[in-house]
Structure 1
Amino acid sequence: MELAFSGTSGILIMLFYGVIMLLIGVVTFIRNKKVHSSLEEYYLGGRGFGTLVLFFTFFATQYSGNTVIGYSAEAYRVGYANLVTVPFFIMIILVYLVFAPRMYRLSKKHKIVTPVDFLDMKFKSKAVSILAAILMLYALGNFLLEQLIAIGQGVAGLTGGTVPYQAGVVFFIIIMIVYGWLGGMRSVAYTDTMQGVALLVGVFMLLIGTIIYFGGLPAAGDYIRTYSPENLGVPEGGGLVRWTNFLILVGIGAAVYPNAIQRIFAAKNERTLKRSLTQMAWMPFLTAGVVFVIGILAYTAFPDLSVEESEQIVGMMASAIANQNIIFYIAMIMLFGGIIAAIVSTADSVLLTFSSIISKDIYGRYINKSATDNRKILVGKVIGVLVVGFLLMVAWNPPGTLYQIFVLKLEILVQVAPAIIIGLYWERSHAKSVFVGMLIGALVAAAFTFLSFTPLGIFSGVWGLIINLIIYISGSLLFGKASSESVETDILKVGNSAHSVRG
């Protein structure tokens, strides 16, 4: 008997996962009616996430719909060169471990809610805070647009086109806004846990089904060798420069996503944070590595797809495998739900962080300093919905592939990294130099990207980062003054205090 993995079954799966997400929001609201009483409760879940929930919410932030849908499609298009996705996800974890523990200790003591809170406390500069907020909001808006497009592509591909791209986007946007409004960060984290389990099981079953029914890597390698030999070898020369570019952009840029940093703040304690990040170290192999292999195996399953068609390759493979037997049918249902839930969970965390920056760092800090937390949360919600409406119009006719959109946001976001990471450690950091470096770096990155200008094969964002660092470091050495009451000293005091308590 052939099992149709499309049409009515696809709609039922969408409704099933949608209802679960809504129920999570309702239950979270009922169990924690104080969720809207303070910024910490709404945006950080009361700083009480344990290891398991924190792990899955990090997982959902790092491995979004772009990972499963976009990266497998890119592996299909460029071949083995896309193996770089594994090491650059490892790089993200390494960067986390460099700054996350110190950032957590500081956030715990000073009740920091957003990354801009830290920058405002560190540099005491309105210019630095506003510029950083603008760059973060741009990156978050770009990230949210990417997820909206991924929702449409995922639904269309996984239902064989029965549910139109636009319908899938609208349906899950409504679901996301409702449960996000009800439960805040707690709703986001609990849906992350649900989608993480479904996604991991589904992806591994997709890999097993692909190998069984379409052949393994040797068969795919033979096909590539015959029809696309340029996609078989590892990069050399310019390709290696490109790999290095991605390691810098993704490893550093993705680690300073504002929504990822807020998860650092949400940890129950420092030990919980470190355990979650340690467990995350395995995920590049178990997620990005598996997704890469699936993209390579797709060569023999669906040869000669166009760029637009390849964006739906995961959905096409899942639908084909689901038709083989009942076991894979059930597994692909889990994958379908896991992918969609992963995309929606990433989108809602981005929207939540976007709203937090608007409500606390823009509205609460500069527009209405006397506003209550409840008022700030309401303003953030309303602005967030308006932004989603605007991005929905853009997503209606996507401006490019998911992969291209992903790279674009990192070119700008990575310019905030020096202020956050170096600023966390270096007493001598000079506020004006930080501002000028960040501004010039962002302008260079934007101009080079717009002009498609990559001297020496170095990406525009990396050029911007290099110039940013030169201005920041040289200006701080010339004009910066060490202070015994600096944030760095404060951090060390907090760290020593925590060490003494543990001892």
Structure 2
Amino acid sequence: MTVTIQLTIIVGYLLLALAIGLVAYRLTDRTAEDFYLASRTVGTIVLLFTTFATLLSAFTFFAGPNVAYYEGPEWILVMGLMDGIIFAILWYVIGYKQWLLGQRYEYVTLGEMLGDRFASKRLRGLVAGVSLLWLFPYVMLQQVGAGTALQALTEGAVPYAVGAGLITAFMILYVVVAGFRGIAWTDTLQGAFMLVTTWIAMIWVLAVVGGPGAASAALEAEAAHHLALGSDHYTPQWMLSTAIVIGFGVAMFPQVNQRFFAAGSRTVLKRSFALWPILCVLLFVPSFMLGAWARGLDVAIPEGENVLPVILAEFTPVWFAALVIAGAMAAMMSSSDSMLLSGSSYFTRDLYRPFVEASLSDRREDLLARVGVVVFATASFLASLVNPATLFELGDAAFSGFAQLALPVMIALYWRKTTRTGITAGILVSQLFYLSSLFLAVVPSTYMGWTAGLVGMGVGLVVTVGVSLVTTPAADERRAIYFDGLGAD
């Protein structure tokens, strides 16, 4: 009976999201721009919450509380405070200029924007290829998170593969039907829903255990070092490296980066990034503190399982725990569907169109994009069944991989002397450096406490600037389009 209640609530919530997608489908034009960007008409609340919900992934709901459980709640400073502020700044520095360029030249992807400036379909393909490479493990992260969450919540009645398969089937169906407009609408619902239920969950657990004082006292008795700032894990170098890499990586995530093009006006864009740090703190404080307090509440966390579903099952009613997990799964779906939509646009517009069929019609591109969603989601699901890494490892690899793109892109946006050879070399070298740190023992993963992801960003910066200084711009580069007549303020 308990499992039936849990599954009814979870499936019911997902069906509600799908119903909203069906309504959006009826309002969606059969054009690529409307499918990918809702015709650039998104307002402040929807832009803010669709970006918010797009990032409410398994990394947030499960990896974050897990880190807080094992290492302490300083994770709030990394993700909730530093990262919120860093990304808000980048939303202005990178996002606002991208919006101005998108309004003038109708760009849909980052690769289009760079390829047009540097007159290079190879650079366009490189950016798309790198983005799809790192998008794959992050989509996997959502499927792994959904599978482990359902397995833990139902105490094994729903196996890992079934949970991962459920979220995959729903996100395929949803993206193919809804497009950006439907995704943005449900993101707004899911972002607000998770914000409210996470706070209710924390208050509920604290009420059961005797309040925050009792929870903190129990944590001090079990792991006193969790209440002290800093540890062998939370070194200044690690915290700064992680916050910077995640902030810059988020700005390059395709599903986030494309939202820079979708705002209906500059006022919409500016209001959204001004409110961003507040939303981050409001979400991450309750979810990460629940993870930290669980350490002292005598909650047994089976090896390989996530803290949040276990503590909810222990201290809240079955229906409420299922509701929170349903919301978390819907948030994971909102991350995955946005990733799949953006990934399909990178494939069709930056790989298929330039290298296979230049005269691709809007109708044919629309169909190809939907087929690409099915193929990409299915492949990542199959990969998630083969000994997946931990949620933190998957998320950290993806954030750091995307972060390698950020500084070459920023330099190109603001430095006229950037050359095609310079930006291409900067992207390639930093990517190869970071990939080597993951897979080759001869390349360290840390440098005096600083992570390879951050060091790789520095490498990309130096190479982009250095090579640009010693190379001549190609004759067909459009050096003025990022600067002349944009009206930025």
Q: TM-score under structure 1 normalisation?
A: 0.90
* Distance (Å, rounded) in 1 between the aligned partners of 2:27 and 2:455: 49
Give the match for residue 469 of structure 2.
Answer: 477
Matched, 1:430 2:419: yes
Give the match for residue 258 of structure 1.
Answer: 254
The structure-2 alpha-carbon separation of the partners of 1:485 and 1:435, relative to structure 1 and needing over 3 Å to count, comes to closer
Contact 2:301 2:310 in 1 (8 A): no
The structure-2 alpha-carbon separation of the partners of 1:212 and 1:492, relative to structure 1 and needing over 3 Å to count, comes to farther
Give the match for residue 314 of structure 1.
Answer: 308
Deviation string 1:280-314 (CA, Å, 9 cap, x unpaired) is 221121011222211111123344535513x2x21
For residue 493 of structure 1, the aligned residue among 460, 485, 489 is: 485
Matched, 1:62 2:55: yes
* Distance (Å, rounded) in 1 between the aligned partners of 2:125 and 2:474: 24
The structure-2 alpha-carbon separation of the partners of 1:488 and 1:88, relative to structure 1 and needing over 3 Å to count, comes to farther
After TM superposition, give the deviation of residue 397 of structure 1 in Å.
4.1
State the AA in 2 paired with 1:412.
G
Larger displacement relative to structure 2 (348-357 or 218-227):
218-227
From the two aligned structures, give the one with the greater helix fraction. 1
Give the match for residue 386 of structure 1.
Answer: 375
State the AA in 1 paired with 2:138.
F
* Distance (Å, rounded) in 2 between the aligned partners of 1:174 and 1:108: 35
For residue 195 of structure 1, the aligned residue among 181, 190, 198 is: 190
Give the match for residue 176 of structure 2.
Answer: 181
Give the match for residue 211 of structure 1.
Answer: 206
For residue 135 of structure 1, the aligned residue among 106, 119, 130 is: 130
Larger displacement relative to structure 2 (293-302 or 197-206):
293-302
* Distance (Å, rounded) in 2 between the aligned partners of 1:487 and 1:294: 51
Aligned residues: percent identity?
26
The structure-2 alpha-carbon separation of the partners of 1:218 and 1:484, relative to structure 1 and needing over 3 Å to count, comes to farther
After TM superposition, give the deviation of residue 249 of structure 1 in Å.
0.6
After TM superposition, give the deviation of residue 253 of structure 1 in Å.
1.0
State the AA in 2 paired with 1:153.
T
Segments of structure 1 that go 5 or more residues without pairing to the other structure are 324-328
Give the match for residue 22 of structure 2.
Answer: 26
For residue 164 of structure 2, the aligned residue among 162, 169, 177 is: 169
Give the match for residue 78 of structure 1.
Answer: 71
Matched, 1:344 2:333: yes
Larger displacement relative to structure 2 (354-363 or 430-439):
430-439
Give the match for residue 326 of structure 1.
Answer: none
Contact 1:259 1:353 in 2 (8 A): yes
* Distance (Å, rounded) in 1 between the aligned partners of 2:251 and 2:221: 39
Number of aligned residues: 483
The structure-2 alpha-carbon separation of the partners of 1:175 and 1:453, relative to structure 1 and needing over 3 Å to count, comes to closer
Matched, 1:458 2:450: yes
State the AA in 1 paired with 2:487.
G
The structure-2 alpha-carbon separation of the partners of 1:484 and 1:430, relative to structure 1 and needing over 3 Å to count, comes to closer
For residue 15 of structure 1, the aligned residue among 11, 27, 31 is: 11
Contact 1:356 1:377 in 2 (8 A): no
After TM superposition, give the deviation of residue 333 of structure 1 in Å.
4.9
For residue 246 of structure 1, the aligned residue among 242, 252, 263 is: 242
What SS does structure 2 have at the residue aligned with 1:80?
coil
Matched, 1:406 2:398: no
Give the match for residue 300 of structure 1.
Answer: 296
The structure-2 alpha-carbon separation of the partners of 1:302 and 1:370, relative to structure 1 and needing over 3 Å to count, comes to farther
The structure-2 alpha-carbon separation of the partners of 1:359 and 1:14, relative to structure 1 and needing over 3 Å to count, comes to same
Deviation string 1:161-217 (CA, Å, 9 cap, x unpaired) is 332222122222222212211121112111111211221111000110121112444
After TM superposition, give the deviation of residue 399 of structure 1 in Å.
2.0
The structure-2 alpha-carbon separation of the partners of 1:216 and 1:420, relative to structure 1 and needing over 3 Å to count, comes to farther
* Distance (Å, rounded) in 2 between the aligned partners of 1:154 and 1:422: 41
Give the match for residue 157 of structure 1.
Answer: 152
Contact 1:117 1:361 in 2 (8 A): yes
Instruction: Please tell me the root mean square deviation across aligned C-alpha atoms, in Å.
Output: 2.3
Contact 1:202 1:332 in 2 (8 A): no
After TM superposition, give the deviation of residue 442 of structure 1 in Å.
0.8
